[in-house]
Structure 1
């Protein structure tokens, strides 16, 4: 056990956990005032539910010794059995490694909620979260990072920090649920603008801050690889932001705060799988590519008529695909320890491996999520009633409101205890 590595991973774990409250603020600022608290609750309840599932069985199935041809781990660590304080994973305590990986699972589930904002039953979400974590996230995490996982050990595709288990699974799942639940009332007719852009920017800032733990922490040590991943993360977030603003300026004539936040997130999404495989130049190009492409991808929902409320598909699925595929173009041996991308003499081999991994994970995720979503929809119903959606989920589900509209809009209402204003004398 190395105390420096352990100290860094403790800090990184806290940073990644912070990403989920940051995501909650990011999403809550983008919805209308009547569903702010519901959006916050969907992220916060994911922390509790995924933690219980992960400690009970998720870690064992994801990171236990492989049992079925690289598809799933074993049951040796059910209830975290055998993970005492002296158990070591590399140079850090195994229990800390398990906790670090838990924070990835939490934020992945929370990401999906943005696709179905404003119209999903909270009770259905409570059922969906633990089942999805076990049926989708856990297997894909094992394929990508687990002992004997087929993507890493047999296919040879690379994913440093979660393009496949985090970004592509959340985006593909968001698309599946959009198709099951259907569009919001007034989709493509009513204005559905973000109600609080400063909240969006605050959430994006917290996400960016936490992302350094997400990516640099995946080195599992306080070392040069962590430092390189840290810098690549910063660089890609910056070029993603600039790329999105460039498109907005040319297309719309106005660079926006929402565009800046979305562009930064797009760049961070794309660099997640590749931050430990590419040079600084590769990171800059990957971030810029994601910022530009994702800025167009978020409008596809209007063309193809799927209501991805907060652009989980357009940013996380598309950005995750970009970042995962471009490893096959920009990977350098000094980062990967061997495999090289197309531009560095590696030919098409690594790009082909990345493509197979993307298609397999996206197809598996979409199919399982669609089946799970349909099952929930046909049993307890996944969509809130029309009355609940029209009134707002904050009041109808949680019996709370984020804002006192009377005070914010027109001052304190006049009551029997409030004297009416006097007319001015001439």
Structure 2
């Protein structure tokens, strides 16, 4: 029987991770135009509603496989959790399902930042449902549910090699997945009207900082939460200090780059740096000593501060830098383990084999997620349309799509 304290932490961690999606809504909401804030936040809340329902109906069944060669689990194996709810150990099993749902939700919600200010809500929900089903649920099975990524080390180097892919809390399944899909949707919807460097300013900086604070708060459930389902609470101290430290170092790395490049360290930069550090430490939180975690956070904060400028050079409009933060940050954190994972990294007692596994798994998720999101996005755009009209974009999507205003000020 699971210890009562562990179950209590499982409930708390589930609530913390669920809170992260409203945190994303605030973070993104402050960055967009004042006349798009309702639309931006509704994309996150819409993801909560739809993905949670799909996960309970069939997503949790799809996220577990019995063989590394399986693409995904049978969605009808326990449709609606009818068997699990009445089976032996259902108390812990259902809590584990609930915890997993929060990861699925935030992964899809993160994608919305790439298409801010110009997406229709109905088509977005269609994308959410289809991408969760053929994008997130199978990838979760590959990484954590017994799939090919989970067994990649054994397949490449033998079962007795001891080489196992490391992604403790979602560098691939969450962040690379979301970042690659965001890149695809940014290409499908195209650039915002007037897209150029410096023209799009955050309309509410405090709202974005509130979102970053909620994300940082919830991230302790994101990273340390799974401890109750795996090894009890033995590793929670290391995971907690690494999560804390990497985010703090990420702030310093980002604002240092800002200071050198532009002469000013901004609050949006500090918030973004914290998120970059959190993204990078997500896969690595249980497998680095604190010093290596600090270096990872600082490095990722600096690199992501540079990476978010690439959209202007390459000409794609990733509105809120999902690619620059989550794809780049998730990739750095996952690959970093190949060099510095405790006792296994190339420079910490291991050899190149773990690095090979980390790179192949990251690349596989990136390519799959991009292709799937591109296909879904193009299908929606070519049939019912994904992007609002130019007139509606200029007028503001809040009133056009939702009939609401974020700030209905009266004299």
Contact preservation (8 Å) 1:86, 1:93:
no
> What is the rounded CA distance, in whole Å, between the counterparts of 1:294 and 1:85 in structure 2?
47
Which range moved further: 226-235 or 19-28?
226-235
* Aligned: 1:235 with 2:245: yes
- The aligned counterpart of 1:417 is none
- The aligned counterpart of 1:309 is 319
Contact preservation (8 Å) 1:67, 1:73:
no
Shift of 1:294: 0.1
TM-score (norm 1): 0.91
Shift of 1:235: 0.5
Shift of 1:79: 1.2
Shift of 1:121: 1.1
* Aligned: 1:284 with 2:294: yes
- The aligned counterpart of 1:118 is 117
TM-score (norm 2): 0.94
- The aligned counterpart of 1:169 is 177
Q: What RMSD, in angstroms, separates the aligned Cα atoms of the two structures?
A: 1.4
Return the index of the structure with the highest Cα Rg.
1
Cα separation, partners in 2 of 1:184 and 1:400, compared to 1, 3 Å = same
Q: How does 1:387-426 map to 2 (within 5 A)?
A: 387-404=391-408, 407=410, 412=411
Contact preservation (8 Å) 1:228, 1:276:
yes
- The aligned counterpart of 2:342 is 332
> What is the rounded CA distance, in whole Å, between the counterparts of 2:149 and 2:359 in structure 1?
11
Shift of 1:393: 0.5
> What is the rounded CA distance, in whole Å, between the counterparts of 1:347 and 1:190 in structure 2?
45
- The aligned counterpart of 1:153 is 151
Shift of 1:67: 5.5
Secondary structure at 1:320 match in 2: helix
Cα separation, partners in 2 of 1:73 and 1:66, compared to 1, 3 Å = farther
- The aligned counterpart of 1:354 is 358
Secondary structure at 1:326 match in 2: helix
Contact preservation (8 Å) 2:258, 2:264:
yes
Show structure 1 runs of 5+ residues with no match.
334-339, 413-426
2:227 corresponds, among 216, 219, 222, to: 219
Which range moved further: 10-19 or 280-289?
280-289
- The aligned counterpart of 2:108 is 109
Show structure 2 runs of 5+ residues with no match.
154-163
Contact preservation (8 Å) 2:68, 2:147:
no
Shift of 1:85: 6.0
